[in-house]
Amino acid sequence: MADRFLYLLARALIAGLQMLPLPLVARLGRGLGALVHLLDARHRKVVLKNLHLCFGKEKSAAELRAIARENFRRIGENFACAVKTAGMPWSKLRHYCEFSNPEVLMPAPDEPGSQSRVVAIGHFGNFELYARLGEVVPGFVTATTYRGLRQPSLNRLLQNLREKSGCHFFERRTDGAALRAAMQQSRLILGLLVDQHAGDNGLMIPFFGVPCSTINAPAVFALRYHCPLFTGFCYRTGLGRWRLETGDRIPTHRDGKPRPIADITLDISHAFETAVRRDPANWFWVHNRWKAWDKLQAQTPAPPAASPAPAPPAATTETPG
């Protein structure tokens, strides 16, 4: 019964947002984000904790609070607009988003005809727009992975919405064979979200100087399938407007030999830090990215208390004689 209610609610919400003009959807999303910032103390605390960890030595407490407020508004705007833009034809959507330097993804004349690309992406701006990258890179189709929801009807509703973009979606737990075949046979631009806590299987890579469990999938895929590797970021340029930028190619080999996966992943992490610093409110700060570090700190025993210093000898008033 609860699953049915969630499905009907989501369906009504999607239908309602898709009927409205995009600028109005963006304003509604920002208003909802501001309300959540006011009411959701738990996530507000997470955001401020993360911001202090990364910018505490560079920005004042007032500046961090202002970034947090804007971050909640941006998240609301991005999620509401993602629902709207998923169903928009490219002929209309192209007036609200631009792709900067997509030509770096184009193949060189001597490349194999089926060679794909891997793009490490994160929760920056309306990141769902990367599903439209195939519109500006001729000869390629976009693809990504996802983790299905436990509610089948709700999962199907969201996937039907996402697939309107023309992007191919592969479920991480069940579509591994299909993804491997596609990587070998098709010209894919595979976008992989890599900026969340990776659990016990991740690599401990510094992000803003603090170690955190990091997804290494972009490096693994690029090496396994001999694909060029890039980063990609979505920046907000105005109300309901975005620019998507493809970063420089990240080297996967040195002197003809594969680089260590940890080194490649560290390069990705550095690129992500640069993108966050460029527009701090644009990233998904509500996620506990440094969970592994918090756990490690909690397990580290506190240093023993220092022994009290011995008292100085009592002064004497006697004179020698």
Judge residue 141's burial from the number of C-beta atoms within 10 Å of its C-beta, 0-12 exposed, 13-18 middle, 19 or more buried. middle
User: How does 77-89 read in b/e, with b if 16+ C-beta sit within 10 Å?
Assistant: bbebbbbbbbebe
Give the count of alpha carbons within 13 A of 236, CB side only. 25
Residue 304: the pLDDT is 62
* pLDDT score for 98: 95
β 203-207/210-214 pair status? antiparallel
How far is Cα 12 from Cα 9, in angstroms, rounded to an integer?
A: 5
Rounded Cα distance, 289 and 29, in Å: 24
Give dist(CA 321, CA 112) in Å, integer.
102
Count of alpha carbons within 13 Å of 293, Cβ hemisphere only?
Answer: 17
Query: Which parts of the chain have pLDDT scores under 70?
Result: 112-114, 300-321
- The single-letter code of the amino acid at 153 is S
What's the pTM? Answer: 0.89
pLDDT one-digit tens code per residue, 93-124: 999 999 998 999 998 877 766 689 999 999 99
Q: Which long-range contacts (CB under 8 A, 24 or more apart) does 18-25 make?
A: 18/83, 18/84, 18/87, 20/84, 22/81, 22/84, 22/85, 22/88, 22/96, 22/240, 23/239, 23/240, 25/80, 25/81, 25/83, 25/84, 25/240
- Residue 113's pLDDT is 61
* C-alpha to C-alpha distance for 91 and 88, rounded to whole angstroms: 8
DSSP character at residue 290: T
Instruction: For residue 257, give the DSSP letter.
Output: E
